[in-house]
Amino acid sequence: AILGNKTATNGGSGKVVNSGPNDSIFIYYADHGAPGVLTMPTGDDLYAKDLIEILKTKYESGTYKNMVIYVEACEAGSMFDGLLPEDWNIYVTTASNPDESSWATYCPGSDDPP
């Protein structure tokens, strides 16, 4: 979907990112995650290395100006930490660092969910 390839999508809405070199892209994802992986409601999970490869292909295609990605999932930071080059014009913010759960309430020092 990020690469704009409608023929590669199976199921879902069939919508893809059809962007040009002057476009800004916003991606929001909220679901479950674990170190180096985001789980999908249906279908295959998305692994960090695969996501970075997709973003690299999008960058090399020159089909966006800026991209913002928000990810709300446990260990969401592990999808990008040390993997995303700074010169791709992609700003990422995550609800959790690479080794942190993303509960609805943050309780420093607590191992149990609130």
Residue 74 among the catalytic residues = yes
Beta bridge partners of 70: 28, 93
List 16, 32, 39, 98, catalytic entry: 32
Residue 107 among the catalytic residues = no
How far apart are the C-alpha atoms of 50 and 71, rounded to whole Å? 16
List 2, 38, 73, 74, catalytic entry: 74
| Closest alpha carbon to 34 in 7, 62, 82, 73 | 73
What positions carry a catalytic annotation? Answer: 32, 74
